[in-house]
Structure 1
Amino acid sequence: MLDIMLPHYGDLRLLRIAVESILAQTDDRWRLTVLDDNPAERGTQIAEYFAGLGHPRVRYRPNRVNLGITRNFQQGVDLASAPFMTLMGCDDVMLPRYVQRVHELIEAHPDAVLVQPGVEVIGGDGGVVKTLADTTKRRVYAPRFAGTVTMAGEDLAVSLLRGNWLYFPSLVWRTEEIKAVGFDPALSVIQDLKLILQLVTRGGALVADDEVVFQYRRHGESLSASTAVTGNRFSEARDFFVAVARRMDEHGWPRAGRAARLRLSSRIHALTMLPAAAKQRSGGSVRVLTRYAFGR
């Protein structure tokens, strides 16, 4: 069984698309929990939608108070009870073979802590898109392989610190391992990378596969996009990479420490956001992005 935990913040239309993609899975070894973090803004419409589904493996949980993104992620981890789980984005799409392929990979690699299935990127209208960020991920930072590859140890840490090429909402986690570490509530954007690196230093292995079974939606209205333009993402990232570099050195992984101090992909990302910040005439954001990109 796979626990699909679905933290929800957006509109009902995209949520329905996400839920219907889960209902259309070819393998029924899944259980869906929707964690609605602000149901008051949407009234009763969303609750009525799930009541109308009447599906025995779908449950809808409105939060009594707004938890925020990281605490809602952690709630999903706390509630999971299946051996493996995923924290799907509320605007993403599972292609029909996602659950089946994930189970195949777990059965073939029973010691894996993380599974990265194949992903394609879609835009707001659902069409497949090619963005500079995703092209860079695949051509510069992601390992080149055909079929399936297993990575672990310092090599995996270095790879992710040079550029995080994973797609967090598509990842499958070994539940007991993610429960043992948990999300850092002080982080709002880069919390996934911190958690993954902690699992890697605990000895966890990642299995990556090239069969596309998941669609990751990228559009300008996401939290990560808005925080990038304001520069808040990079204020958080600066402190994160400084701390990670120190931890990697202490762990005896000097190459990973150097990669964290260099944080090349993150600096490049800051440079790409400068035009948008300047267009918004946000002097503070321009200063944050500039200082971050050039290492000050």
Structure 2
Amino acid sequence: MSVPTVSVALCTRNGARYLAAQVESVCAQVPPPDEIVVSDDESRDDSIAIVRAALARHGAAAPTLTVLENRPALGVTRNFEQAVRACRSELVALCDQDDVWHAGRLARMVDAFRARPELLLLHSDARLVDGDLAPMGSTLFEALEVKPSELAGIAAGQAFSILQRRNLVTGATTVFRRDLLAAALPFPSEWVHDEWLAAIAAATGRMDVLPEPLIDYRQHASNQIGARRPTLGEKLAKAIAPRGTKHGERLRRAEVLLDRLASLGPQVPPACLQAQRDKVAHQRFRTELPSSRLIRWVPVLLAAARGRYERFDRGWQSVAQDLLESG
């Protein structure tokens, strides 16, 4: 089988401090990607000039470059949507401006797609580093408290049910087939781009995970989306915090996904569509729980006994939240 072509969707916003290292790590891949599409969200520094200079150092061997400049800024999800729409290769690698790809990262992932024509999306773990690339002693999956059973479930073709509990896919680690965009576009405003791509891939085909870290994922003050393992105190504070609007927002997200899956017809297996209907019903149940903690106990414990929290949430962690949170 021929080697698939690769586009890199690189989104930038005032990334001058880190961009040179990232673009260099992308160009140093063997083989390098075919093109880089930069979608810049109203940078006020020399981000684009830094990208151009880094590519110029590689001469004729550098990927082709497309630059899209947004005035005004689009925001993270819309910026990535614009970038991936402009990509022309068979595979699209999502790329943050402040990370660094490990040597061999792209070849490892491209080989997986080449060997598995049914594979739509692939992601990996990442090494957490500080702003100066010093290792922080943990990985992204450790920060997310990813369980071996979750990784095994994804590898066994059960990704959709795993993702119904929580998202495990981080865009900076992700490569997907451009064919996925036919079902995934446009990205809904209620979702982050990487979570949405993963959900659509899991519902319409096969996604998988590589358990090893393949990039350095910087954690610094300017991260728009970062990763850090919560402390026990933070978990307890979250459990007793006011309910606010978060359950209604999660219900809306579940409904948006159900609507998209229903619109895709035979691309989505009936069992998957029914599972999402059940997810919507469970999320509606959580949203409509009474404000009184005392009155919540019976319905929450009954739902837990029926396995709904284990199937659609974080199990007893979510049960405790619904029992303890205020308001």
Shorter-chain TM-score range? 0.7 to 0.9
TM-score by length of 1: 0.72
Match of 1:201 in 2: 203
Structure 1 residue identity aligned to 2:127? E
Match of 1:158 in 2: 161
The alignment partner of 2:210 has SS state of strand
Match of 2:171 in 1: 168
- Structure 1 runs (4+) deviating above 4 angstroms are 130-134, 234-237, 258-269, 290-293
**Shift of the alpha carbon at 1:37?**
1.3
Deviations 1:45-71 (A, max 9, x none): 334334434244142514141222222
Superposed counterparts of 1:281-296, under 5 Å:
294=325
**Shift of the alpha carbon at 1:103?**
1.4
CA distance in 1, matches of 2:29, 2:142: 28
Deviations 1:196-237 (A, max 9, x none): 2133222x21121234322222334322369xx9x9xx9786
Aligned with 1:16 (options 17, 20, 26): 20
Give the number of equivalent residue pairs.
264
The alignment partner of 2:24 has SS state of helix
Aligned with 2:98 (options 87, 91, 98): 91
The alignment partner of 1:86 has SS state of strand
Aligned with 1:7 (options 7, 11, 14): 11
Deviations 1:64-97 (A, max 9, x none): 4122222211111210111110121111111110
Q: Is 2:13–2:47's contact at 8 Å kept on the other side of the alignment?
A: no
CA distance in 1, matches of 2:34, 2:206: 23
Superposed counterparts of 1:86-235, under 5 Å:
86-130=93-137, 134-140=141-147, 143-144=150-151, 150-152=155-157, 155-187=158-190, 190-202=192-204, 204-224=205-225
The alignment partner of 2:147 has SS state of helix
CA distance in 2, matches of 1:31, 1:172: 14
* Structure whose alpha-carbon radius of gyration is higher: 2
TM-score by length of 2: 0.66
**Shift of the alpha carbon at 1:99?**
1.3
Distance 1:75 1:209, change over 3 A: same
Query: Larger relative contact order (C-alpha < 8 A, sep ≥ 6)?
Result: 1
Distance 1:76 1:140, change over 3 A: same
Q: Is 1:89–1:169's contact at 8 Å kept on the other side of the alignment?
A: yes
Distance 1:293 1:6, change over 3 A: farther
Aligned with 1:63 (options 61, 69, 82): 69
Q: What RMSD over aligned residues (CA atoms) do the two structures have, in Å? A: 3.9
**Shift of the alpha carbon at 1:165?**
2.0
The alignment partner of 1:173 has SS state of strand
Q: Is 1:126–1:217's contact at 8 Å kept on the other side of the alignment?
A: yes
CA distance in 1, matches of 2:326, 2:97: 35
**Shift of the alpha carbon at 1:114?**
0.5
Q: Is 1:267–1:293's contact at 8 Å kept on the other side of the alignment?
A: no
CA distance in 1, matches of 2:181, 2:323: 30
Match of 1:241 in 2: 250
**Shift of the alpha carbon at 1:241?**
2.6
Q: Is 2:77–2:193's contact at 8 Å kept on the other side of the alignment?
A: yes
Structure 1 segments unaligned to the other structure (5+ residues): 272-289
Q: Is 1:267–1:292's contact at 8 Å kept on the other side of the alignment?
A: no
Q: Is 2:12–2:47's contact at 8 Å kept on the other side of the alignment?
A: no
Aligned identity (percent) is 18
**Shift of the alpha carbon at 1:23?**
1.6
CA distance in 2, matches of 1:221, 1:158: 33
Structure 2 segments unaligned to the other structure (5+ residues): 228-233, 262-270, 287-308
Q: Is 2:154–2:162's contact at 8 Å kept on the other side of the alignment?
A: no
Deviations 1:83-124 (A, max 9, x none): 110121111111110111111111221210001134222222
Deviates more, 1:48-57 or 1:207-216: 48-57
